[in-house]
């Protein structure tokens, strides 16, 4: 485990695996363990770097949190590694990757269903406050179930308990309840600009079974970018990189390995 000091003095830990050009994997609302099954797919050709989000894993914490703080943390890791990195973010990690790439030098950017809220959904979003109300009542597990129902399943699943019984992060992820509530507050405060200026090739990924509000968000991101590639995976949900790794990682490898425009599975 390596460490770097972020702009406000918080210690940010990051894992490093393999050798080659740097590839930074940014996790979403889960833990850095999310990327564990993905590391072998890149480690022979890239230095795979997995930062631990502030307040998660081996990283330090702070009383206050914002998206800007998260970007500062990622930039501190970028400054600590050799070479210009590729950023690959999932969910909230996708939003961090996008916002970081607006001001930092990156080789390429990949985002799977970045946590961007738009339109009427954003105006009415209250996930953070509803999670906090359950936390205040001592119902951390119910707060996490509420989050998972909304973010992983778009608020619609018949047997959440049955699904959770087969989901590897459960129930350990309950330990991240407060941290996840605060990142959702940061997500709800974020306004997607009309135009995103990113001086690097961008690949945006989504699945047909992802939550509708995140599928709307990634399309808005695609419209805000002047030049991006967009791929939609049939039958895949919000957990795409680990849910369907053969399909998703093959697309990512094509994009980051090749200089030419890749043949995409599906493009809008």
What number is the average pLDDT over the span 35-64?
95
Per cent of the chain over pLDDT 70 is: 96
What confidence category does residue 263 fall into, taking pLDDT thresholds of 50, 70 and 90?
A: very low
Residue 261, pLDDT above cutoff 50:
no
Residue 93 has pLDDT above 50, yes or no: yes
Tell me whether residue 265 is in a domain: no
Residue 164 has pLDDT above 90, yes or no: yes
185, 202, 226 - which closes a domain:
185
pLDDT tens by residue, 17-33:
999 999 999 999 888 99
The residue from 154, 185, 216 where one domain ends is 185
Q: 126 with 145, same domain?
A: yes
Distance in angstroms (rounded) separating the CA atoms of residues 161 and 163: 5
Task: Tell me: pLDDT of 259 over 90.
Answer: no
Q: What is the model's pLDDT at position 209?
A: 93
List the CATH number of the domain containing 21. Answer: 3.40.50.1820
For range 84-91, the mean pLDDT = 97
Q: What is the pLDDT of residues 235-246, one digit of tens each?
A: 999 999 999 999
Cis-peptide, bond into residue 224, ω within 30° of zero: no
pLDDT for residue 258 is more than 60: yes
Q: Is residue 164 domain-shared with residue 65, that is, in the same domain?
A: no
Domain-ending residue, one of 149, 167, 185 = 185
Whether 41 and 111 share a structural domain: yes
Confidence tier at 260 by pLDDT (50, 70, 90):
very low
- pTM, to two decimals: 0.92
Which residues have C-beta within 8 Å of that of residue 50, sequence separation ≥ 6? Answer: 14, 15, 17, 24, 25, 27, 32, 35, 39
Q: Are residues 200 and 157 in the same domain?
A: no
Identify whether residues 180 and 220 lie together within a single domain: no
Q: Give the residue ranges of DSSP H helices in 137-229.
A: 140-153, 160-165, 177-189, 212-224
Same-domain status, 206 and 92: yes
Contact 1, 13 (CB under 8 A): yes
Same domain for 93 and 218: yes
Same domain, 136 and 240: no
Q: Which domain does 135 fall in, by range?
A: 121-185
Q: Answer yes or no: do 114 and 161 share one domain.
A: no
Same domain flag for 99 and 127: no
- Residues 97, 144 within the same domain: no
HSE value, Cβ hemisphere, 13 Å, CA-based, for 219? 14
Taken in order 144, 6, 115, 237, the sign of the CA dihedral is negative
Q: For the chain, what is the domain count?
A: 2
Residue 262 maps to a domain? no
**Per-residue pLDDT tens digits for 139-161:** 999 999 999 999 888 888 889 99
């Amino acid at each position: 485990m390596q460490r770097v000091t972020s702009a406000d003095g918080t210690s940010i830990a990051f894992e490093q695996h393999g050798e080659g050009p740097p590839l930074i994997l940014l996790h979403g609302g889960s833990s850095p363990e999310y990327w564990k099954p993905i590391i072998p797919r890149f480690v022979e050709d890239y230095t795979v770097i997995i930062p631990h989000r502030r307040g998660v894993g081996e990283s330090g914490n702070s009383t206050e949190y914002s998206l800007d703080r998260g970007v500062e943390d990622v930039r501190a890791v970028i400054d600590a590694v050799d070479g210009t990195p590729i950023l690959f973010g999932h969910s909230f990690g996708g939003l961090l990757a996008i916002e970081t790439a607006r001001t930092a030098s990156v080789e390429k950017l990949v985002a799977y269903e970045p946590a961007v809220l738009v339109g009427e959904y954003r105006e009415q979003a209250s996930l953070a406050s509803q999670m906090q109300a359950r936390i205040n009542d001592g119902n951390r597990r119910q707060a996490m179930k509420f989050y998972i129902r909304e973010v992983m399943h778009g608020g619609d699943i018949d047997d959440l308990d049955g699904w959770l019984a087969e989901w590897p992060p459960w129930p350990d992820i309950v330990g991240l309840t407060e941290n996840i509530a605060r990142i959702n507050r940061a997500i709800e405060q974020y306004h997607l600009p009309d135009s995103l200026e990113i001086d690097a090739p961008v690949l945006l990924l989504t699945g047909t079974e992802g939550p509708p509000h995140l599928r709307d968000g990634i399309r808005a991101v695609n419209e805000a970018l002047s030049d991006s590639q967009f791929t939609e995976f049939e039958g895949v949900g919000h957990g795409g990189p680990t849910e369907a790794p053969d399909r998703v990682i093959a697309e990512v490898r094509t994009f980051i390995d090749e200089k030419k425009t890749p043949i995409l599975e599906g493009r809008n």
